[in-house]
């Protein structure tokens, strides 16, 4: 899976967890908390990432998902291994 494909899937996942936002309108560097994602939302985001990209995350890895660009970097590092 290349970076572009990861980005597309992540946009879909985040849009699913954040109300009233389309996948295309998520800014690369906007903090996800600013979009309205709370701690429960982050738990589900983590679950969605695991299910989509087929790897297990640690709870503290959520700290690496502050923004869309951070999430892309994080997932890319894992799926490329």
Partner 1 sequence: MGGNKAVKVMQETDRLAVGKLLTKRAHIAPNSRALLYYKQQTEYTYGEFNKIAGDVAKGLIAFGAERGSHAAVWAINLPEWLFIQFGCAKAGIPLVAINSNYRAYELEYVLKQSETTTLFIADGASQPGEYLAAIYEICPELRTTRPGCLQAARLPALKNVVFLGKEQQPGMFTWQGFFAKSKTISDKELAVRENTVKGEDIFTIQYTSGTTGTPKGAMLTHSSYVINAFETAKYQGLTPQDISCIPLPFFHAYGCIAVMAAVAAGAAIAVIEQFNAQELVKTLEGCQATAVCGTPTMFVAALEELSHHCYDLSSLRGGNMAGAFCPPQLVQAVVDKLGAREFGILYGSTEAIISIMNRWDDSLEHRINTLGQALPEVELKIVDPQTGETVAAGTAGELCIKSPSRMKGYYKMPEATAQAIDSAGWLHSGDLACIDTEGYCRITGRIKDMIIRGGENVYPAEIEEFLTTHPKIKDAQVVGIPCEYYGEEVVAFVRLQAGQSATPLEIKRYCRERIAIHKVPAQFLFVEQYPQTASGKVQKFKLRELAIQLLSEKIHKNRGACQNEQTAN
Residues that bind partner 1 (CB under 8 A): 39-40, 42-44, 47, 50-51, 54-60, 62-63, 77-78, 80-81
Nearer CB in complex with partner 1: 68/74: 74
Residue 76 C-beta: closest distance to partner 1, Å: 9
Residue 25 C-beta: closest distance to partner 1, Å: 26
Nearer CB in complex with partner 1: 27/51: 51
Sequence-ordered list of residues with C-beta below 8 angstroms from that of 80, at least 6 positions apart, any chain? none
Nearer CB in complex with partner 1: 4/56: 56
Residue 73, CA distances (Å) to 20, 40, 67 in order: 25, 22, 10
């Amino acid at each position: 899976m290349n970076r572009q494909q990861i980005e597309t899937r992540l946009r879909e996942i985040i849009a699913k967890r954040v109300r009233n936002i389309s996948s295309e309108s998520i800014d690369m560097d906007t903090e996800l908390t600013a979009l309205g994602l709370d701690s429960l939302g982050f738990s589900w985001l983590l679950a969605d990432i695991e299910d989509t990209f087929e790897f297990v995350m640690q709870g503290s890895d959520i700290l690496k998902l502050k923004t869309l660009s951070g999430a892309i970097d994080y997932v890319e590092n894992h799926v490329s291994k």
